[in-house]
Amino acid sequence: MRIDADIVAELKQAGENASDVLRVALTRLRGRIALVSSFGAESAVMLALAAEIDPAVPVLFLETGQHFPETLAYRHELARVLGLSDVRDLHPNPEQLEKRDPTAELWAFDPDACCALRKVEPLDEAMIPFDAWITGRKRTQAATRQGLPVIEDAPGGKIKLNPLIAWTPRELDAEMTRRNLPRHPLTLRGYPSIGCAPCTRPVGEGADPRAGRWAGKAKTECGIHMRKPASQGA
């Protein structure tokens, strides 16, 4: 692992307190850590907590070319309101895009390949200079996320941090209200979880928030969190 044991120990000491985890991570790993954000329905809280500690933290946004216009506008609004000075838009490789998805319809017949091209590969490349990354995942989001810890090993000897892992939708909502954070406009139109436009549907009141993601397909994750560190096998 590239991260010194004393830093890992400090991160563990922070437990599941999001602000404490972020404070240790963004100060002890400054220049070595990035925050990955979808600028989706629940992204504002993490971005606000991080901005309080280090508004210059690199924030990586996967600009797949398939987002709702509302998401792109929200990405700029949140960056401005929170004073985030280093939000980076990660685009798919143009040559690969032309070769593998010239009509931008890959999502319809092979969404895993589309996510690999538009999300996994650009993020892998952008993460090369970093040793650690912060995600916004929560245990309540999906069955596949229920056992997640705050600190995970990631491929390449890196670590992944999930500071908001224990937060519930209700707590996030209350924090957004308390901080008067801007809301993603689509949350008011029935989208509790927001990804690329072709793969996101509104869901009914009380339904699983992620039911509108890749609706009708077996897919539940985009793939950026699916790869295991070498020690756990491929």
Q: Tell me which of 115, 196, 199, 222 is the catalytic residue.
A: 222
Q: Applying CB under 6 A, does 111 fall inside the site for ligand SF4?
A: yes
The DSSP secondary-structure symbol of 117 reads: I
Spell out, one character per residue from 66 to 105, where the chain touches ligand SF4: x when CB under 6 A holds, - when not. x---------------------------------------
**Which residue number, 179 or 201, has a Cβ lying nearer to ligand SF4?**
201
**Which residue number, 179 or 219, has a Cβ lying nearer to ligand SF4?**
219
Spell out, one character per residue from 39 to 68, where the chain touches ligand SF4: x when CB under 6 A holds, - when not. -------------------------x-x--
Q: Applying CB under 6 A, does 3 fall inside the site for ligand SF4?
A: no
Specify the amino acid at residue 185. Answer: P
Residue 93 CB: number of other CB atoms within 10 A? 14
Closest to 107 measured CA to CA, from 95, 98, 116:
116
Minimum distance, C-beta of residue 140 to ligand SF4, in the bound complex (Å): 21
In this structure, what token pair is assigned to residue 75? 């990405």
Question: Which stretch, 53-61, 114-122, 141-149, 184-192, contacts ligand SF4 (CB under 6 A)?
Answer: 114-122
Q: Applying CB under 6 A, does 107 fall inside the site for ligand SF4?
A: yes
Per-position b or e across 100-137, b if 16+ CB within 10 A of its CB: bbeeeebbeeebbebbbbbbbbbbeebbeebbbbbbbb
Minimum distance, C-beta of residue 111 to ligand SF4, in the bound complex (Å): 4
Q: Applying CB under 6 A, does 114 fall inside the site for ligand SF4?
A: yes
Q: Catalytic site residue 115?
A: no
* Strand-pair partners of 234: none
* Strand-pair partners of 161: 134, 151
The Cα–Cα gap between 229 and 140 comes to 24
Give CA separation, 70 vs 40, 111, 181, 194, in Å: 10, 22, 16, 10
Catalytic positions, written as ranges: 222
Which residues are at the interface with ligand SF4 (CB under 6 A)? 64, 66, 107, 111, 114-115, 118-119, 195-196, 198-199, 222
